Amino acid sequence: MDLLNTLVDKGLRRELPTREEALAVLATSDDDLLDVVAAAGKVRRQWFGRRVKLNYLVNLKSGLCPEDCSYCSQRLGSKAEILKYTWLKPDEASQAAAAGIAGGAKRVCLVASGRGPTDRDVDRVARTIEAVKEQNEGVEVCACLGLLSDGQAERLKGAGADAYNHNLNTSEATYGDITKTHTYADRVDTVQKAHAAGLSACSGLIAGMGESDEDLVDVVYALRELDADSVPVNFLIPFEGTPLAKEWNLTPQRCLRILAMARFVCPDVEVRIAGGREVHLRSLQPLALNIANSIFLGDYLTSEGQAGKADLDMIADAGFEVEGADQVTLPQHRVDAAAGCGSHDAGAAGCGSHDADAAGCGSHGGGGCGPCGSGEPVADAPAGPNEARTDLVAVRRRGAGTDLAPNA
């Protein structure tokens, strides 16, 4: 296809596609799907080889959020039967992080529900960051705490944080349809605060909330303009007990097209398959590794993910390799640019989403693949496109905030 050849050429040059080209990717047919994946794969390999970065979530404080984000299992008024607990102690968080690091994760994402941290909360998280880094040499830490006030990003940076995550989630035009208690502009402001403080900016989206192709293209273009180092792509987990519980709008093929569009628009950044990959990509997860260069290992914040060993087996079987702690995630030109302007931590990239029942780093929901506590996949039952797969949504009952071993 001439379209794909053009997009590959632009991706290898880091040139922005036109909006029409980005929309055309989302409109391709199933007959062309493998060609789309192969084309995006050429761009992915140019900048990231066959490496897959593993990230691990630690939910520092779960549930009881005062915000009304429609997609979130921890939202105000949520009836989702998730774990609810207050702040983990620094040593508890460090122990949880160690499980993911032992499983191969090079980045730990420390997440807390809420509108944003108080100064006391920032002090608490700073002590946690210091504990994680002291006990796990060489690990990268990303904080995901909601909207930041002036000076808070600098304090997190001073405590040793490498990155900060805050997702845009959807287009500016439709943001008010999913959240009323804060604005799209509030989110942009927090990403800019993190960036200005020298933290690697991580910001992504949630697909599957009923948005249009134009909305998806708008938010990905906005993420490129913000110069995020990491773009987590979340796929909505429609949790029972949330306003979007009936929004089962995604197919595996649709998810692959969305990932490909993100890769073409953001060719040289960390594109992460975040929450919802088990639920919506299902058996096509290995194909998605040809497009994205990063995933979460094990469970998410409030829901269970694929077993950690299954993640590692999938990566190896698909012919990829886990990125080592001694390897720099971002291409050299981005590292050099960050060092030159002081806006990023060299090599830092990625976290996840602060609030998505799509999951992701900081998502307030998550992927889920098996009965609660089992970690074992549920065999796919016959289902038509877009049919609800509630059997694949399992609330997390292990790991942080429990006495059971985590999935890593």
Instruction: Record the tokens describing residue 35, joined without a space.
Output: 């060609």
Catalytic-role residue among 142, 351, 361, 369: 142
Catalytic-role residue among 44, 75, 107, 109: 109
What CATH number was assigned to the domain covering residues 42-392?
A: 3.20.20.70
Residue 31, phi then psi, degrees to nearest 5: -60, -30
Q: Which residue has the higher pLDDT, 357 or 81?
A: 81
Catalytic-role residue among 75, 107, 257, 272: 272
Q: What does the alpha-carbon distance between residue 272 and residue 289 come to, in Å, rounded to a whole number?
A: 9
Q: Is 371 helix (H, G, I), strand (E, B) or coil?
A: coil
CA-to-CA separations, 247 to 68, 168, 358, in angstroms, rounded: 17, 19, 11
For 340-378, the pLDDT digits (tens) are: 764 444 333 333 344 434 333 434 333 322 323 333 333
Catalytic: 202?
yes
Q: pLDDT tier at 60 (50, 70, 90 boundaries)?
A: very high
Q: What does the alpha-carbon distance between residue 204 and residue 31 come to, in Å, rounded to a whole number?
A: 28
Q: Which residue has the higher pLDDT, 164 or 305?
A: 164
Catalytic: 361?
no
CA 72 from chain centre, in angstroms, equals 14
Q: What does the alpha-carbon distance between residue 320 and residue 330 come to, in Å, rounded to a whole number?
A: 17
Catalytic-role residue among 69, 266, 351, 361: 69
**Cβ–Cβ under 8 Å, residues 347 and 335:** yes
- Position 383 pLDDT exceeds 80: no
Annotated domain spans of the chain: 42-392
Q: What are the beta bridge partners of residue 142?
A: 109, 163
For 187-235, the pLDDT digits (tens) are: 999 999 999 999 999 999 999 999 999 999 999 999 999 999 999 999 9
For 229-281, the pLDDT digits (tens) are: 999 999 999 988 888 889 999 999 999 999 999 999 999 999 999 999 999 99
Q: Which residue has the higher pLDDT, 114 or 363?
A: 114
| Best CA proximity match to 277, nearest among 216, 235, 232, 317 | 235
Among 149-158, 299-308, 353-362, the least confident range: 353-362
Catalytic: 369?
no
Q: What does the alpha-carbon distance between residue 270 and residue 44 come to, in Å, rounded to a whole number?
A: 9
Residue 135, phi then psi, degrees to nearest 5: -95, -10
Catalytic-role residue among 44, 75, 202, 266: 202
Catalytic-role residue among 65, 144, 266, 369: 65
Give me the numbers of helices (H) and strands (E) for the chain, helices first please: 13, 10
Catalytic: 255?
no
